Amino acid sequence: MHIADGFLPAPVSLLGYALTGGGLWFSLRKISKTYEDPQEHIPKTSLLTAAFFVGSLINIPVPPSSVHLLLNGMLGVLLGYYAFPAIVVGLFFQAVMFQHGGMSTLGVNAAMLGFPALLSGYLFKLRLSFGEETPRRLGVFAFAAGASAVALSTLIFFGLIVTTIPADFDADLERSATFVLMMSQIPLIFIEGVFTSILVSFLRQVKPSLIEGF
């Protein structure tokens, strides 16, 4: 679900770079203000960036086509503000290595996955305002955060594609094909929600420090 080169008009690509620049600036500023030692979370960020980079290669067959993992919700939950830079770096390497996305659309793709990741981070943090944390509540919030990031990114993707169909193509045919693809993303929303929930519940038991503070 990456937008490749040549699929968006130049102003949209530029706007994507502007939004990504703003998102990076916001995230780095928040990181330096929020954490006493901003370098403390770099090891975890690096490892999850590698996981995100590989994640797009894992295809899940959803008839009639297949979808690949996005993992932006999981990054938001586990990395908080670090998720945005991690996504920018991961997408850059995905575009260069696997041609998933392109260099002109890197800004759009980063904004499309990065901002929902930040929102899922906030959503996961909301659990703290409900009093004492129970394993069940932790799992539910992790599911909601992991699933909502994918759902939001999917909506942004289809919004962008449907509104920028070039005049030469049959818009109705493209819209219906896009709608079919959107339907095939629905199982992925649940898969990623469940995956994030299991991962967070697992980390709570083996290394709770990894989910504290986010």
Partner 1 sequence: MKSLNWTLIIPIVGLGVIGVTETALAHAAQLRYEIESTISVTATYDNGEPMANAQILVYSPDDPREPWMRGTTDDAGRYEFRPQAEESGNWTVTVRQAGHGDMITLNLDDSGTRADASTENSSDSSLFAGSADISLPQRLLTGGSIIWGCVGTALFFSRRRKSSSES
Q: Which residues bind partner 1 (CB under 8 A)?
A: 3-7, 37, 39-40, 42-44, 46-47, 49-50, 53-54, 59, 65-66, 93, 95-100, 102-104, 157-158, 160-161, 168-170, 173-174, 177-178, 180-181
Q: Do 88 and 207 form a contact (C-beta atoms < 8 A)? A: no
User: Distance of CA 166 to CAs 8, 9, 44, 170, Å?
Assistant: 9, 9, 42, 9
Q: CB of 106: closest distance to partner 1 in angstroms?
A: 10
Q: CB of 56: closest distance to partner 1 in angstroms?
A: 10
Between 54 and 198, name the residue whose CB sits nearer to partner 1. 54
Q: CB of 45: closest distance to partner 1 in angstroms?
A: 8
Q: CB of 46: closest distance to partner 1 in angstroms?
A: 4
Residue 52 and residue 211: Cα distance in Å, rounded? 18
Q: CB of 169: closest distance to partner 1 in angstroms?
A: 5
Between 98 and 202, name the residue whose CB sits nearer to partner 1. 98
* Closest C-alpha to 124, from 53, 31, 201, 44: 201
The encoded tokens of residue 100 equal 């998933």
SS3 132: coil
Between 169 and 205, name the residue whose CB sits nearer to partner 1. 169
Between 138 and 150, name the residue whose CB sits nearer to partner 1. 150
Between 18 and 173, name the residue whose CB sits nearer to partner 1. 173
Residue 56 and residue 67: Cα distance in Å, rounded? 9
Q: For residue 67, which phi and psi values (nearest 5 degrees)?
A: -125, 160
